[in-house]
Amino acid sequence: MKKTAIVNANSFGKYYPEYITQLDQQIGETKRFKFPVDISPEDLVAELKDFSFIIIGTEPKLTKPFFEKIPQLKLVVRFGIGYDNVDVVAARENGVMVSNIPAYMERDDVAEYAVSLILSAAKLVTYTAEKVKQGEWAKDRGRYLGHRLNKKTIGICGFGNIGTRVAEIMQAFNCKIICYDPYLSAEEAEKRGGEKVDFDELLEQADVISLHMNCTAENKGMFDQAAFKKMKASAVLVNTARGALVNEADLFAALEAGEFGSYATDVLENEPPAADHPFMTQEKIILTPHIGAYNHECNEMMCESVVDDIVRVNASGEPKHLLEG
C-alpha cells in the first residue's frame, strides 16, 4: 500500500472526510503536513520521502532539487487551479506527474466572489457595515455615498475562464465590458462578450477593473504607480487572481493620495499578511482571506477530482487533469 501526503491543503477532506476515507481504503495511509512557505527542498524530501502521492496547496514550492531527490513520488495534485509553486517541467523530467483542478470547477465560484467584491466596494457595503457596528449609523453620512453600477464600464484583465463569467454577470447591470488580454484576438474577445483594448485604454476608461490573470514574469507588478495615475479617481480595483499582479506599496500610496477609489482583494503577494501590513488599517481596502472558490459545492467537486486522479495513477494510468508544463 502507498501513502498520500496532504501538504498545506487545509480544506481537502476537512468538510468531506469521506474522501480521506476513500484514500485510506484504496491507496493506504493519508497524513497531513503544514510546512512553512520557505522550507528547503532537502527538508521537504526528508519529510515526504515515503510518500507516493502529494496533494498540495498554494505553498510551499516544489522545485527541481526536490524532484531530483524523491524517486518514489508518482503524482503531485494541486488542490486548486494555479500551479505556480510546482515546477511541472522538473517533475516530468524526474518521472513525476502533476495534475490540478480543472478551471471549470471554480469558474462560477470565483466569478461570483469577484462580483460580490465589486458590489461591496462600489456600494461601500463592508465599510458601512463596520461603521454601524462602531455606533456610527448617522455620523457624517457623506462618507456613505457609493456608486451606481448600472451602465458603467467594467474592465477585465484576463478574458478567459473566470473573466468571461464575470462579464456575463455584470451585463445584468447593463455594463459595458472591455478587456485586456494579450493572448486573445479582438474577434475572439467580441465572441466572448467584450471589446478588446490595450492596457492603458482599460485603465483610463474603466469604472471597475477586475483581475483574472495568471502572474508571470511579464505582468508581475503591472498595477504600479504609473498604472494607478491613469485610473479614474473613483475607480474600483478588484483582485481575485494573484496578489503579485499589484505592486502593494504603490497601491497603498495611490489610495492615500486619492488617485483611485478603492481596492477589494482576496489575494496578497505574501499570505497571510503580517499584523502590521498597511492594508489592515486602510479603510479604502477590502481584504478577504483567499476564499474565492471556498464554498461547499466547489470544495466537494475539488476533493472528488483529486481522489480520482490519485486512484487513476495508482492503477498505472494517468491523471485526468495531467499538466504538461
Q: Are 290 and 271 in contact (CB under 8 A)?
A: yes
Query: In angstroms, what is the C-alpha Rg of the chain?
Result: 21
Annotation marks residue 271 as catalytic: yes
What is the rounded CA–CA span in Å between residue 236 and residue 231? 9
User: What grid cell was written down for 155?
Assistant: 474592465
Annotation marks residue 269 as catalytic: no
SS3 (DSSP) at 234: coil
Residues 6+ apart with CB under 8 A from 100: 77, 78, 80, 81, 82, 83, 321, 323
178 - beta bridge partners?
155, 195
Q: Kindly tell me the burial class for residue 33, based on how many C-beta atoms sit within 10 Å of its own C-beta (0-12, 13-18, 19 or more).
A: middle
Question: Of 18, 93, 130, 271, which is the active-site residue?
Answer: 271
Residues 6+ apart with CB under 8 A from 201: 178, 180
Is the dihedral angle over the CA atoms 95, 28, 62, 70 positive or is it negative?
negative
* Measured CA distances, 261 to 4, 123, 128 (Å): 46, 12, 15
Question: Of 192, 242, 312, 321, which is the active-site residue?
Answer: 242
Catalytic positions, written as ranges: 242, 271, 290
